[in-house]
Amino acid sequence: MRTLVLLLLSWGCVAPTNALSQAQRASSESLRWLSGCWVRESGRLITEETWTEPRGGILLGVARTTHGDSLVDFEFSRIAETDSGLVFFATPSGQTPASFRAVTSGAHSIVFENPNHDFPQRIVYQRTNRDSLEATVEGTVHGAPRKIDFRYRRIPCPGD
């Protein structure tokens, strides 16, 4: 009987952990597929996004969009392990940082959300094959739905 009680108690301690969502259990290491240098070109408009390898519970990212020799936009980002799971922190073009909590994750995809942010409220990353990455930002602007897709291809990182 004592063994049964101990077994039930230990199961009770494990059950809440199993109840955590897959996104809450995801680690920065599970996002290794995002690491590298990515580019999207549309005529003279070029968007580059680079992510470091995960280390120390964090990935660091930087992105810039240029039109010819002119800077259009830039962003500093990080995806960090926190007590509530993975969180995407974005600082676009020097604006106030915004945070988005991971709500869904898979082998090669992750979804972050912050319903209280102006735009976007949702950020999705999905690697479709070894050399292709899709990033989507979506939400509402003045009550109207808005979605922007970025389809990247892998490029060699400087120094590779």
Task: List the pLDDT tens digit at each of the 160 positions of the chain.
Answer: 444 333 333 333 333 444 346 565 789 999 999 999 999 999 999 999 999 999 999 999 999 999 999 999 999 999 999 999 999 999 999 899 999 999 999 999 999 999 999 999 999 999 999 999 999 999 999 999 999 999 999 999 998 8
- pTM for the predicted model, two decimal places: 0.83
Cα four-point dihedral sign 147, 50, 114, 134: positive
H/E stretch holding 112 reads: strand 109-113
User: Which residues lie across from 78 on neighbouring strands?
Assistant: 60, 89
Peptide bond into 156 cis (omega under 30): no
